[in-house]
Amino acid sequence: MSDKKVKESTASSFVFRLTEDGWRLGLIWHPRLECWMLAGGHVENWENAAEAALRENSEETGWKTRLVAGPSSELPAGAPHPLVPAPWWVQELTVSPDNHTRQPHVHVDHLFLAIAEGEGPVSQPVHEVHWFTAAEIAEQPDIAEDLRVQAKDLFGRVAEAAAH
């Protein structure tokens, strides 16, 4: 028997919006896992990770979002294929069985930075959404530590990144 685990491509987003009080990060309440987490999910076979991130943002938060490409190199002049927005990070997480795979497996998660556009949601979100300040992220007990660390980093960079 092999120790190799199934690996599935997923996409998640740090969805920020600028309010009159500053930047806030939108997280969804996951009822099965009972915690605040990023909007995200599996990359379907008809989409790339960036497309999946946008779809999941819309479904789970109800907001229209745009992705801010992560740090990456530009294509050389004359390269014939379109560049897909780069995630800010790609990480592997061992996860419990879910509705895609009925055994423990690994999510290869493409983590994007997204900006919520408009004055409010454009559709009914699948999950409860709450917009947290940086201070609230640091104090909220129902947020995983890895998300907390990454959010702190992005709160320090979102204003400059969003301007591009």
Q: What confidence score (pLDDT) does residue 97 get?
A: 86
Tens digit of pLDDT per residue, the chain (164 long)? 457 889 999 999 999 999 999 999 999 999 988 999 999 999 999 999 999 999 999 999 999 999 999 988 888 899 999 889 999 999 999 998 888 888 899 999 999 999 999 999 999 999 999 999 999 999 999 999 999 999 999 999 999 999 98
Say what the pLDDT of residue 1 is. Answer: 47
* The predicted structure's pLDDT at residue 71: 87
- Identify the helix (H) or strand (E) that includes residue 17: strand 7-19
Distance separating the N- and C-terminal Cα atoms of the chain? 49
Q: Which residues contact 136 (CB under 8 A, 6 or more apart)?
A: none
Q: Hey, what are 144's tokens? A: 């995983």
